Amino acid sequence: MIMKTWYNHARYGMFIHWGPYSAAARGEWVANRELYSKEEYTEECVRPFTAARFDPREWARVARAAGMGYVVLTSRHHDGFCLWDTATTDFKSTLLGPGRDVVREYVDAIREAGLKVGLYYSVADWFHPDYPGAHARDWPQCWPDEEKRRRFVQFYHTQLEELMTRYGRIDLLWYDGCIPSPTDGEIINTRVRQLQPHMLINNRNGEPYDVHCSEQIIKPGPAGKLWEAGMTLNDNWGYHAGDRQWKNARAVVRMLTETASIAGNLLLNVGPMADGAIPRESVDILLEAGAWLRRNPGWLADSGRSPFGWTNWGRITVKDDRVYLHVFNSTGSRLRVADIGNRVLRVSYLDGGGALPFTQKGDLVIIDGIQSPPKDPIATTIMMEVDGRPRTTRPQTSFWIPE
């Protein structure tokens, strides 16, 4: 049994990929994919990474209006550029590019807005002399030698100590690129836990961890662990000016109902531009989905794992004594809801449209009088109040998909 935490309450967070690569506007892997030397990268990406319109209070405003409960910022990505005033390297935002301690301003603004504070941290560091290779096509499999590995581990450990001791309470440490092994993750996780005892840690640097992450796919972690799906709004994490593959607000709500139905979180990414502004398209999508969440309140925070199987009309989420039917594919004015193991007490639209007539025959509930065509282009959510914790009469334990 997982302890209820702020993390279950939030269910929805904002991932922010922002760094010198934002100036290249071709995604966060540009240095690796396009064979940039550190000098070229500094000239072409770090210098124009101005942060001229960087305003983390605006990021926080968008996150809140979107309905999110936490934010995770790339304190440094695989390019090794540090967004804080580290003592370990000159490749940092206080000396180059923004000329500011981005992490400090970010942490203060996010905390002030009442959001939980997450820091993404990549262990991989393409341009570090002890790290194996900036331009590898596969993740490097081993360290050049043990001395370099040790020195590198000491280096990243020191960076994490800075992040864990200078900025007050950090709620989530989001590791990435903990490759090649060993990175001494267990020792370091134990240490950062001493520094931030309440902090949640993701699974990418090994045990001990709290949050299992899936990437660009919605897939729960092992039983008993918190879990999160990290997803992009287009096809890139870092800002890419040419990537027009935008998801829409409906897709966002679909992802959210899916993660919530499996008692997980959605960490949805934005890639601000070099000046710090979040692309207009991303803001519009997030705010439209946020408006839908405000119209359809209460189902997301602390949602539990739904015992119900899949349907052809949408997604079922549960919370306390309530079953939420999120209808994405209208079935007209009647909806047949199968496998309900509870007595249904009341059925209504979640957006306040009033009670709906229904009949219950055993475990089949038939709801009538649903507005058709649907009044909300994103989804119609119908709430069933039931006699206790939602139960199913026909559990779905596996689902066979032919190959």
Instruction: Return residues touching ligand GLC (CB under 6 A).
Output: 17, 28-29, 176, 215, 230, 237
- Nearer to ligand GLC (CB atom), residue 76 or residue 315: 76
Please, what is the minimum distance in Å from the beta carbon of residue 65 to ligand GLC?
24
- Nearer to ligand GLC (CB atom), residue 172 or residue 323: 172
Q: Provide the 10 A C-beta neighbour count for residue 294.
A: 10
Please, what is the minimum distance in Å from the beta carbon of residue 230 to ligand GLC?
5
Which residues, 6 or more positions from 360, have their beta carbon under 8 angstroms from its beta carbon? Answer: 340, 343, 344, 366
Q: Which amino acid is at 124?
A: A
Which residues, 6 or more positions from 58, have their beta carbon under 8 angstroms from its beta carbon? Answer: 277, 278
- Nearer to ligand GLC (CB atom), residue 143 or residue 237: 237
Q: Is the peptide bond before 208 cis (omega within 30 degrees of 0)?
A: yes
- Nearer to ligand GLC (CB atom), residue 49 or residue 237: 237
Please, what is the minimum distance in Å from the beta carbon of residue 273 to ligand GLC?
17
- Nearer to ligand GLC (CB atom), residue 214 or residue 306: 214
201-219 exposure pattern, b = at least 16 Cβ within 10 A, e = fewer: bbbbbbeebbbbbbeeebe
Would strands 322-327 and 380-386 be described as parallel, antiparallel, or unpaired? Answer: antiparallel
| 3-state DSSP assignment of residue 258 | helix
- Nearer to ligand GLC (CB atom), residue 179 or residue 291: 179
- Nearer to ligand GLC (CB atom), residue 17 or residue 326: 17
Of 172, 135, 177, 170, which Cα lies nearest the Cα of 152? 177
How many angstroms separate the CA atoms of 254 and 250, rounded? 6
Please, what is the minimum distance in Å from the beta carbon of residue 63 to ligand GLC?
18
Please, what is the minimum distance in Å from the beta carbon of residue 394 to ligand GLC?
36
- Nearer to ligand GLC (CB atom), residue 67 or residue 230: 230
Please, what is the minimum distance in Å from the beta carbon of residue 288 to ligand GLC?
24
Please, what is the minimum distance in Å from the beta carbon of residue 309 to ligand GLC?
29
Q: What is the DSSP letter of 386?
A: E
- Residue 330 vs residues 49, 298, 316, 326, 370: alpha-carbon distances, Å: 46, 22, 14, 10, 9
The two structure tokens encoding residue 310:
């899949």
Please, what is the minimum distance in Å from the beta carbon of residue 19 to ligand GLC?
10
**Ramachandran sector of residue 294 (left: φ over 0; alpha: ψ -120 to 50; beta: rest):** alpha
How many angstroms separate the CA atoms of 184 and 53, rounded? 38
